[in-house]
Amino acid sequence: MKRREFLKSMTALAAGSVLPAAPAIWSPAKAQSRQETLLIVSESGPNNIDIHGVGTNVPGYEVSWNCYDRLISHEMKTLPNGVQYYDRDKFRLELADDMKVGDMSVTFKLKKNAVFQDGTPVTAKDVKWSLDRAVTVGGFPTFQMGAGSLTKPEQFVVVDDNTVRVDFLRKDRLTLPDLAVIVPAIYNSELVKKHANEKDPWGLEFTKQNTAGSGAYRVVSWNAGTEVILERNDKWTGGPLPKVRRIVWRMVPSAGNRRALLERGDADISYDLPNKDFVELKDLGKLNIVSTPYSNGIQYIGMNVKNPPFDNLKVRQAVAYAIPYQKIMDAVLFGLAKPMFGAPAESPTEVAWPQPHKYNTDIAKAKALLAEAGYPNGFETTLSFDLGFAGVNEPLCVLTQESLAQIGIKCTINKIPGATWRTELNKKVLPLYTNVFSGWLDYPEYFFIWCYHGKNSIFNTMSYQSKELDALIDGAVTAAAEGDKTAYDKDVKGFVDLAYADMPRVPLYQPFVNVAMQKNVSGYQYWFHRRLDYRALVKG
């Protein structure tokens, strides 16, 4: 489909689909509770409400974050534009009442009044069982824990009913921050074990659809693909009791409907409208629009370098020159992103991530490289994207498809449902695809551990292998732990340079998290996981 035809059809669909949304969402019987209820509308929803689940998607992170506690979390800071932003370097206690960091361990005292949502007291045994689960279930959760050198159940020690110790395998500056991400959530171990069996020793089937935490909210209803309803846990001790009693999170696939619901005042928040809508809504001034760059994150085009034709460096370089970067920035993002392309040829590599590469759109150079690679007539392939975030991904892929066709690469666009996207991506068989990755811990080496390291790296979905790059990543981790700034800077520059020389994935831009809220909604906080924290939201 040509870009013009695509955009025309999308506009027609959006315009037509606003009409069915006209019936009022709130009946008179619900009017009284409207003030205590927050209605969120989004394009897609969770496929699993347990962060430890197999293939849990990004919307699933939001449920887990709000329904489970961790031992520690982060303090907030205020950016110059007034946005509340998590402070990477400052921690606050959540389920823990005290934290003592030693040379090779950290000891936590639990809040004595902390209880799970069913009233059961939280004990050190629950903490150990939960952390054991995180490092054992495999897949994303276990790899996430390993990124902070948390890999063995033996590291988690019950000192007494109210005290747990985490022993360090090595000095690693990522260990403490890794205890504050979503994965080391604390579960009601006795409740979950009642639903476990030989085939499912960690009770994943139960927690896929039921919350078993001590967090500020609990799921009371979930219809996959339609709606999630959460209610406040009035027993919560992890912080000040949230002001909002009830969250209704509704999946509304049509961007036109989501915008209409916001403009009519029926919905309170949406965070995945097309960028064009965010720009227009900001100009209209009737809603609060907040735009924040993803921390440690990029949208990129990835290529499977294990198989032809993308095992050929010149093919990858040809793709990097053929991508219509500025068209994507203008026609898809409407300027709401930071370019990760077109750095000046003479610009030095920085000790930072993300940073732009030096490619720009150059169709003639792309054609020449493809011919040198042995593909003068191009080839056919598929270009895949996550349908759960189609608002950006689909037009991005249409523009890329058009541009690659100019050098002879014929792409069939492969739309993968959001519920199965993570599973399909992690099979590492997609030849060409677009995706977003944002590292929860805001350090360059952390991003590269996840996305480029050749050893069991889940998001190295390019199947990229480079012993030299692995050594540079490992060196940066060691240098950071030892406080050797000179060695650290050298290793970071080294792995950025090598990644851009081999180009297994092509960064496009650093996305913005865009959130539209009614004027009477306040308390929005930006977190590393980019999802909403209901606990801080207030409805005036």
pLDDT in tens, 32-46: 467 799 999 999 999
Rounded CA-CA distance 59/40 in Å is 12
Q: How far apart are CA 403 and CA 410, in angstroms?
A: 10
pLDDT at 500: 98
What are the beta bridge partners of residue 228?
A: 222, 249
Rounded to 10 degrees, the C-alpha dihedral 388/392/395/400 comes to -100
Percent of the chain with pLDDT over 70: 94
- Look at 2 and 144; give whichever has higher pLDDT: 144
Instruction: For 182-216, write each residue's pLDDT tens digit.
Output: 999 999 999 999 999 999 999 999 999 999 999 99
Q: What is the pLDDT of residue 7?
A: 40
CB 384 within 8 A of CB 430: yes
Integer CA distances (angstroms), 3 to 14, 59, 387, in order = 16, 29, 18
Sign of CA dihedral 120, 124, 127, 128: negative
CA distances from 309 to 105, 135, 169, 391 (A): 48, 36, 41, 29
How much is the mean pLDDT over the chain? 93
CA–CA separation, 534 and 217 (whole Å): 8
Structural contact between residues 192 and 203, judged by C-beta atoms closer than 8 angstroms: yes
Q: Is residue 329 very low, low, confident or very high in pLDDT (cuts 50, 70, 90)? A: very high
Report pLDDT for 476: 97
Split at pLDDT 50, 70, 90, the class of 482 is very high
CA proximity to 458, closest of 201, 146, 155: 146
Percent of the chain residues past pLDDT 90, beyond the cut? 90
Q: What is the pLDDT of residues 69-83, one digit of tens each?
A: 999 999 999 999 899
Helix/strand/coil for 407: coil
Q: What is the pLDDT of residues 250-262, one digit of tens each?
A: 999 999 999 999 9
Task: For residues 255 and 271, give the distance between their C-alpha atoms in angstroms, rounded to a whole number.
Answer: 11
Domains belonging to the chain, first-starting first, are 21-65+196-293+513-539 (3.40.190.10), 88-190 (3.90.76.10), 297-510 (3.10.105.10)
Q: What is the pLDDT of residue 472?
A: 98
Q: What is this structure's pTM? A: 0.87
Expressed in percent and rounded to 5, the helix, strand and coil fractions of the chain are: 35, 25, 40
Query: For residue 419, what pLDDT band results from cuts at 50, 70 and 90?
Result: confident
Identify the DSSP state of 29.
G
Give yes or no for residue 23 having a pLDDT over 50.
no
Task: Give the 3-state secondary structure of residue 156.
Answer: strand
Q: What phi and psi values does residue 510 have, to the nearest 5 degrees? A: -90, 110
Checking if the pLDDT of 19 tops 50, the result is no
- Say whether 322 sits in a helix, a strand or coil: helix
Residue 457 has pLDDT above 50, yes or no: yes
More confident call, 428 vs 457? 428
Whether 14 has a pLDDT exceeding 70, the answer reads: no
Q: How far apart are the first and last CA of the chain?
A: 46
pLDDT for res 12:
41
